[in-house]
Structure 1
Amino acid sequence: MTGLTFVDVCSGAGGLALGLEQAGFTPRLLLDDDRDACDTLRTNRPHWKVLNTDLLDFDPVDHPEVYDVDLLAAGLPRVKSSASVTRRSSDTEIRLIRATAYLAHAVQPRALIIENVPTLIDGASFAPIRDFLHEELEHLDYELSWFVLNARDFGVPQDREQGVVAAVKRQWAGAFRPPRPTVHEHMSVGEALVLSMRSRGWPDADRWAAQAAGVAPTLVGGSKTHGGPDFGPRGTKARWRQMGVYTKSFGNEPPGPDFTWDPSLGDDGLVKITVDQTALLQGFPESWEIAGLKTARYRQIGHATPPPVGEALGRAVAEALNGEPSVPAAG
């Protein structure tokens, strides 16, 4: 255990917070504007302090426990694409990035982590927000690191790139290093789900798992305002079908002993995966309960930071903050 503390904003289903806990951090406060997400957090960690509020409305003066923390963590809603940064539909996402920087200004944690789309790191249309973060944080004595992680390199059976901004106070910044991959062989969809697929006596579970030998495409949680659970765009659905997975809806439970898996039959021969199984593909432990109806549950899962990635980030921050702070040279 590191004895370090954190505040987590836009906490969602708790993937980043769970990972930080596994890295030895203790939360002071978690906040999210989604009631189902807050129910998820409270169900799994009744002792965590969870606040159901919008980051844009949050005033740290009313919550003094957020001061004097080691880490401010923000797995923020993703801007849909680099091309959409200037569109009105992305205004909220950009405002949340700015609000996180302003909160860091008020709280002054020893470190800050912002997770978002990979193009946040080097996409041309993200240059204004990068400039803003540099201007807002560097004069507060933070040094910024920009890097991209892929969840598959941390034992998550999913091809999921994440752009990360890590800002560390200058006296500890020299010891910070971005996380290195923790696995040499990527876990496959079949390997991750075979036990679940066997759970109701499906005789083809092992045969299916052998074909589902690659990592999953990026899970997409979908919008609160548009439609239900979705496997993503056409190319993503094609990758799922190559693994023998039905892509028009999710199942309510794993297949039973009477289901025949035969991709040559088209959709009728493909297996449905469940929302609970997508949580496994996002790196959540089987014991982690996601609250809400099917659409709300899948949205929380698809938007989450995979816990193993959160743990790797937490360990990288802890290693820096637990080291000896550097002393500025005398002028």
Structure 2
Amino acid sequence: MSGLRFVDVCAGAGGLALGLEHAGFEPVLLLDKNPAACATLRGNRPAWQVLETDLLDFSPSRYQEIYDVDLLSAGPPRVRSSATVTRTETEAELRLLEATVYLAHAVQPRALVIENVPGLLSAPGFASIRDLIGNELSHLGYRFRWFLLNAADFGVPQSRKQGVLVALRKQYFDAFRPPEPTVHEHLSVGRALRRSMAAGGWRDVDRWAAQALSVAPTLVGGSDRRGGADLGPTGTRKAWARMGVDGSSVADNVPGADFTWAPEAGRRGMVRITTDQAALLQGFPSDWRFAGRKTARYRQVGHASPPPVAKALGLAIRAALASPVTPVSRYTQTP
């Protein structure tokens, strides 16, 4: 099966799109409102059609090529329900989820995939958005499934749980199977970053890699409205500290030959990771370049969908679309 085409909205730095490309899909349009993310997409894939606009302002009628696609994919900003997050931010994130489903109403692709937080699957606080999505998709003639994936199970050196929605036209749905893990052993931070950490001649790299034996905690991109680049909140930084990594900021360069790694001395004795290394921990290939200044680059990485997970999803959807079509009865019930 060849020539599968997709539209990717809230595309960010291209994690979903890159993984889908590796699964054999070709994008006809990628949409994001962030200028740095759009520059990243154009810089890495000059042939891709990238539109810099807010999904809430997007008018699909101006882009006729999107009406004959196999897949609509979306990685909208991860919704949050924490008391530390403003109500305005949360409502904006939920509106983007709604807009994605309404775009499916206009485009009517054969399949839809949305990646977001695990809480979307069952958390009571998100019941209303689940109901809205489910009712709309059922009305449009799709069947759908929510499920949980962890990026670490797909060779990404990071524990990153993702709530995923996959919807397909009824005749393809019974052939769909959520992707199975592709690795039997998780890739540790030390193994993933040892080569890059050694690039500056750092003499303690093997000793550090021997301690960094777990996967990374979830990378957090943070809000575009405030703050700089760091590896996450207090609990996350403690997990990094156990690997001898200072998670309070992101480094400009890898450690040099004269850097002495002494984590027992506190932050000043810990190593820091760079934005490029954070991208490796997110599953991006080493030749994928991010546009903008350091904080903008790191936020793109932290907000991205890991490409290996997107590839696995793409292959699972591709297999379902390639299966013999199941006749659809008008009496078939949707979930």
Shorter-normalised TM range: over 0.9
| Cross-structure match for 2:195 | 195
Q: Alignment RMSD, CA only?
A: 1.4
Return the offset for 1:89.
2.2
What is the one-letter code of the residue matched to 2:65? E
| Cross-structure match for 1:276 | 276
Whole-angstrom CA distance in 2 between matches of 1:84 and 1:173: 39
Moved beyond 4 Å, runs of 4+:
82-86
| Cross-structure match for 1:288 | 288
Whole-angstrom CA distance in 1 between matches of 2:248 and 2:190: 20
| Cross-structure match for 1:93 | 93
Does residue 98 of structure 2 align to residue 73 of structure 1? Answer: no
Inter-CA distance 84–113: structure 2 relative to 1 (3 Å threshold)? farther
CA contact (8 A) 2:32 2:38 kept: yes
What is the one-letter code of the residue matched to 1:221? G
CA contact (8 A) 2:170 2:328 kept: no
Question: Aligned with 2:185: secondary structure?
Answer: coil
What is the one-letter code of the residue matched to 1:291? A
What is the one-letter code of the residue matched to 1:35? P
What is the one-letter code of the residue matched to 2:268? D
Question: Aligned with 2:56: secondary structure?
Answer: helix
Inter-CA distance 120–95: structure 2 relative to 1 (3 Å threshold)? same
Whole-angstrom CA distance in 2 between matches of 1:139 and 1:98: 15
| Cross-structure match for 1:242 | 242
CA contact (8 A) 2:222 2:302 kept: yes
Does residue 15 of structure 2 align to residue 15 of structure 1? Answer: yes
Whole-angstrom CA distance in 2 between matches of 1:262 and 1:330: 68
Question: Aligned with 2:181: secondary structure?
Answer: coil
Whole-angstrom CA distance in 1 between matches of 2:245 and 2:19: 29
Whole-angstrom CA distance in 2 between matches of 1:236 and 1:100: 31
Whole-angstrom CA distance in 1 between matches of 2:324 and 2:206: 51
CA contact (8 A) 1:254 1:273 kept: yes
Q: Give the paired residue count.
A: 331
CA contact (8 A) 1:38 1:50 kept: yes
Whole-angstrom CA distance in 2 between matches of 1:126 and 1:249: 32
| Cross-structure match for 2:317 | 317
CA contact (8 A) 2:231 2:250 kept: no
Whole-angstrom CA distance in 1 between matches of 2:72 and 2:330: 30
* Aligned sequence identity (%): 62
Return the offset for 1:86.
9.4
Question: Aligned with 1:139: secondary structure?
Answer: helix
TM-score, normalised relative to structure 2? 0.96
Whole-angstrom CA distance in 2 between matches of 1:133 and 1:96: 12
Question: Aligned with 2:266: secondary structure?
Answer: helix
| Cross-structure match for 1:137 | 137
Return the offset for 1:85.
9.3
Whole-angstrom CA distance in 2 between matches of 1:37 and 1:195: 27
What is the one-letter code of the residue matched to 2:133? L
CA contact (8 A) 1:44 1:289 kept: yes
CA contact (8 A) 1:85 1:125 kept: no
CA contact (8 A) 2:44 2:289 kept: yes
What is the one-letter code of the residue matched to 2:7? V
Whole-angstrom CA distance in 1 between matches of 2:21 and 2:264: 45
| Cross-structure match for 1:225 | 225
Return the offset for 1:87.
2.5
| Cross-structure match for 2:253 | 253
